[in-house]
Amino acid sequence: MPLSVTTHSSNASLSSLSSGVGSGSGVSTPTASALSLSTASLLKKAAYHGAEDRIVLDIGSFSCKVGLSWEPTPRRTYIPGVAEKKLGCANGFHAKSISFVPASFAALLATGQTIGLVLDCGYQEACALSIYGSLPLIACSKSVPLAGYHVSKRLKELVCQYGHIVNNTLGTSSIEVSSHDHHQVVDILQKASDTFWETLKATIVVAYPTRKDWQSHHTSTCKNDSVHDEADTSAYYDVTIDSFNVVRIPTWVGYVAADVLFEGNEEGETLQGCLLDTLLKCHVTTRLELIQNILLCGGTCSIPGLEDRLRYEMQHLADEHSNLKSARKLVSKINFIYSPFQPSQQAWVGGRHSRLNTALYLKWMWLI
């Protein structure tokens, strides 16, 4: 499970951080009494050395975010390879204490809520965690290996199979279809950088609101070569690879890439199944409040349309399986917590405020 790590240091400063690390919805109002003693003790301990010297690290499987607690957003974002080398400088900060907080709990803190069913979908895995009265219920949690990596993998496979390379005509704005055969197309795409694929994923991947059979689109693209139909520009994306090549991608590829999160892997695990299994692990008296306070965090939850698709899939799954009969009335009351922060930064924002001994103040803070 990803962690938000907060270090408390008497010597750390803005300059030392800059030099030491390379660049690289309708919910009930929480009350202070809802905080558990263990969580309150943790948050009070985190405040002993003041907020002015706080360094906040959000350590994920794909990237690590670092910044100072008084800043609104992380100062730097590092890939893991760089983070392993650079984070050794933490010894030079002479930190007096380090607080480890589950990323899901930190993300919920950022919304000002003390009750929630949090789905943290990052790069390697998705983790659902129930939090009640500011107490993370670790026994009521579940992780599945479905996340951004799997979306990227399917997107790459689809683009290599159905994408077409077109050439930029030098000196003009026109684009003419290239005569590259399929093997040449795959070779060009395989050489594209990771940055290209991540940017492409952020640009074209969208979660379709309902289930749809895309097989007819596959057949149409193969038989009619409709991706080359320049009369219908809404049928494809043109994405630049380099100075000479542009890849033309059917629009449905973005929808199919996102479907991997809901179709199930080899073990039949899905995001909707992960959430419902976690919910049913909780006591029956807490389930209604939890399903009315679902929070999505993590970079993969930035995919447009994910909330609507997840609501549809949870309702469909509960109606489809008899062993989920107890969840059928609950899924009609699904509600997602609104957060003003980006899903990828919610855990970091919550970590920087972990010094507070009440989550209620957080709600006041970002509503002002």
Query: Quick check: 201 pLDDT over 80?
Result: yes
Residues above pLDDT 70, as percent of the chain: 65
Q: Are 110 and 349 in contact (CB under 8 A)?
A: yes
CA separation for the pair 153, 261 (Å, rounded): 12
Element (H, E) at 55: strand 54-59
4-18, 185-199, 232-246 — which is least confidently predicted? 4-18
DSSP character at residue 229? -
Residues 251-266 have a mean pLDDT of: 91
Please provide residue 100's backbone torsions phi and psi, each rounded to the nearest 5 degrees.
Answer: -105, 125
pLDDT per position as a tens digit, 154-182: 999 999 999 888 876 544 444 555 556 67
The residue among 217 and 30 whose pLDDT is bigger is 217
Residues above pLDDT 90, as percent of the chain: 33
Please provide residue 156's backbone torsions phi and psi, each rounded to the nearest 5 degrees.
Answer: -65, -40
The residue among 76 and 321 whose pLDDT is bigger is 321
The residue among 366 and 68 whose pLDDT is bigger is 68
Residues in the chain: 368
Closest CA to 116 of 300, 337, 332, 284: 337
| Residues with Cβ within 8 Å of residue 354, at least 6 apart in sequence | 4, 6, 42, 43, 46, 99, 101, 106, 109
- Structure token digits, residue 212: 């749809």
Q: What is the pTM of this model?
A: 0.71
Residues 1-19 have a mean pLDDT of: 44
Question: 190 burial class (0-12, 13-18, 19+ CB within 10 angstroms)?
Answer: exposed
What pLDDT is attached to residue 200?
93
What pLDDT is attached to residue 30?
42
Domain ranges of the chain: 148-258
